[in-house]
Chains A and B, each alone.
Chain A
Amino acid sequence: MLFQQLVNGLTIGTTYALVAVGFSMVYSVLELANFANGAFYVFAPYIVVLLYVSMGWGFIPAFLIAVIATGVLGAFMDRFILTNIRGRKAPISSSMVATLGVSTVIMNGLIAIFGSDTKAVPNAFPVGKVYIGSVIITGNQLIIIVLSVVIMAVLSIIVYRTKRGSAMRAIAQNTVAAQMMGVHVNRVITVTFFIGSVSAAIAGTMVAMYYGSVDTTLYTTVSVKTFASAILGGIGSIPGAMLGGVIIGMLETIVAGYVSSAYKDMISFVIIIIFLIFRPTGLLGHKKINKV
């Protein structure tokens, strides 16, 4: 029973982790809480439903188109909205309000086009189950866990091993210095948004398939939980965001299984508050030393 809960928790946790990684990357370069991320998470499965269910495409092309479209949407948001706001030397909270505006537009656009009722998402991979002792792992869970881990590994490689990644980290540390070293700051930030939206899109689609449905009310929960995961792990740290996502996923599954499903969201937030008070930098975050 406990192990079964852990497996279920791990499944949902890895998807939180995936979204949180993208969120955390954006946060570390801009210190911006990108609330449009939650909207991207919901946007992608709707596109999949449109292409795969309504228009009868194959799942893989529908999935790829949805993910790329979401990524482009994220990049566009940065290029045409946030870059303008950044250029005006406004506080970063203004960009945050703009992302809230973007998510309002996306969510209500989805409602206007698809209606506000829950959409069924068929399982594209009706594969079997794996039994380990009494623990059942469905093929879907396996795909989610493996795919999430692979994508997070790719993202880590991008951030820590490529030139673009070092540009991102340089901007995160000191934007002005990075610019002076010849980093195209705005271009790198747009790429970061692209990556963040892509990871949100992949996670959103997988979760929609896992639960078999998608609707627009998911937006709030996802926004709050990714933010919380990223902070719990230590903002700006990719392994931290992964850890934070997995912990939150496991916590809420265990609380739902053993305490009460009504309080599952609450308990994870109580733990986050207590945790932040005792370890303000998050699990894997570094303490920022303030130099005068």
Chain B
Amino acid sequence: MKRLLHVWAKHEKYVNVVLFAAAVVYPLIFTRQYLINVGILCLVYVLLSLSLNVLTGYMGITGLGWAGFFGIGAYTAAILSTKAGWNFILTFLAAMAVTGMFGLLIGMPTRKLSGRYVAIVTMAFCEICRALETNMDWLTRGSRGIPNIPRLELFGMKFNKQAQYYLILFLVLLAVIVMGRIVNSRIGRGVLAVKDDDIAASAMGVNPFSYKVMIFGVAASLAGLAGAFYAHYIGFIDPSNFTFDQSTIIISMTIMGGLGNPMGSVLGAVTLTVLPEILRPLMDVRQIVYGVMLIIMMIVRPQGILGGFNLKHIRQQDSVHKEVRNE
């Protein structure tokens, strides 16, 4: 295990390239519709859990209402495409803008509130969204949901399953790059400093309030993007898709994968999406087994699958060892 980590740390770039290549060839090898559908679902959850990881891993906020943003994105896309006939590129952008705005709004209280209270605010926000989705009948058709959402198409060409898969893979890649940019910038470091010790950080002149709100907005808009894709992909949405239970699934993925590690989010999301599919033959007891597995995983690796591994740190250690040996 430890050697594996060192190898991984040494060749991190190559490992990432190989993993990405595997994701690219996946739908070419497994051409069954069902398997591609599972792949698409995995990637939707990867996007959601990645965006939440920025919030939870880098800001220490346990976002308990991530399905709220997911839902706003989905409803924005669904309404704009069914009522106004917008193309998916426009609805994606609109969904990102709308959820981003809500993200900024919900991120505002972070100035005064500590993490656990922000968790409540996000949870309450999710419930409010669900109540609005259920009751604003004129806009969302209430609990009947919005059917016949136009499938993804560009210039009259309908996306087949593979193309849809590549679209969401592209969006995930985009999200990884954007997140990486933010986290490794001055902003990200400021936020990280505040997470570790806000008093020490402010003593060093870091006032990250605006950064925090901005990151909140970006993360929310990515969740909205996932929602917009999901709406076009699945073709029918109703409020039951965006409940507190959905939020708990997303946060479980993020925490199980390992906080503050984008690769962890990928692993967590894929595990918890594939697991119920594998357990499908168990029928009634499938959810029970799923729960038991979740508990066992948390006992075996409470810090998450990849939590507590800092590849950069391992690399530094290795290079120090090397220098010592050379001398």
Contact = CB atoms under 8 A, between A and B. Distances in A.
Which secondary structure characterizes the binding site on chain B?
A: helix
B38 to A, nearest CB: 20
B124 A94 contact: no
A269 B302 contact: no
Contacts of B298: 81, 85, 94-95, 97-98, 101
B259 A112 contact: no
B124 A220 contact: no
Interface string B278-314: 0000001101101111110011001110010000000
Nearest to B249: A100
A16 interface: no
B114 A280 contact: yes
Binding site secondary structure of chain A:
helix
Interface stretch (B131-139, B167-175, B225-233): B131-139
Nearest to A231: B120
A272 B243 CA distance: 19
B15 interface: no
B270 interface: no
A40 interface: no
B91 interface: no
Contacts of A85: 298-299, 302
Interface string A187-226: 0000000000000000000000000000000001001100
Interface string B95-129: 00000000000000100111011011101110110
Given A104-B290, A262-B134, A269 B124 contact: yes
Contacts of B132: 266
Contacts of B24: none
A21 to B, nearest CB: 17
B252 interface: yes
Contacts of A100: 248, 252, 294
Interface string B224-255: 00000000000000000001110010011001
B292 A101 contact: yes
B76 interface: no
B292 A97 contact: no
Interface string B122-159: 01110110011011000000000000000000000000
A52 interface: no
Contacts of B109: 273, 276-277
Contact of B135 (A96, A223, A262, A280): A262
A292 B200 contact: yes
A270 B292 CA distance: 35
A246 interface: no
A273 B288 CA distance: 34
Nearest to B62: A93
A96 B62 contact: yes
Contact of B302 (A88, A224, A280): A88
Nearest to A104: B291
Interface residues of B, number: 49
Contacts of B135: 260, 262-263, 266
A91 B244 contact: no
B295 A94 contact: no
Contacts of A107: 287
B288 A290 contact: no
B256 interface: yes
Contacts of A62: none
Contacts of A227: 120, 123
Given A105-B291, A220-B245, A272-B124, A90 B302 contact: yes
B199 interface: yes
B56 interface: yes
B128 A269 contact: yes
Interface of B: 56, 62, 64, 109, 112-114, 116-117, 119-121, 123-125, 127-128, 131-132, 134-135, 198-200, 243-245, 248, 251-252, 255-256, 259, 284-285, 287-288, 290-295, 298-299, 302-304, 307
6 tightest Cβ-Cβ pairs between the two chains A and B: A90-B302, A104-B291, A101-B294, A266-B131, A105-B291, A108-B287
Given A104-B287, A269-B131, 17 more contacts: A35-B248, A85-B299, A88-B302, A91-B255, A93-B255, A93-B259, A97-B294, A101-B294, A108-B288, A220-B243, A224-B123, A266-B127, A269-B128, A272-B120, A277-B109, A277-B113, A280-B114
30 contacts: A33-B119, A93-B259, A94-B255, A96-B62, A97-B251, A98-B294, A98-B298, A100-B248, A101-B291, A102-B291, A104-B288, A104-B291, A105-B291, A105-B295, A108-B291, A112-B288, A220-B245, A228-B124, A231-B120, A263-B131, A265-B127, A266-B127, A266-B128, A266-B135, A270-B124, A273-B124, A277-B109, A280-B114, A292-B199, A292-B200
Interface of A: 31, 33, 35, 81, 84-85, 88, 90-91, 93-98, 100-105, 107-109, 111-112, 220, 223-224, 227-228, 231, 235, 260, 262-263, 265-266, 269-270, 272-273, 276-277, 280, 290, 292
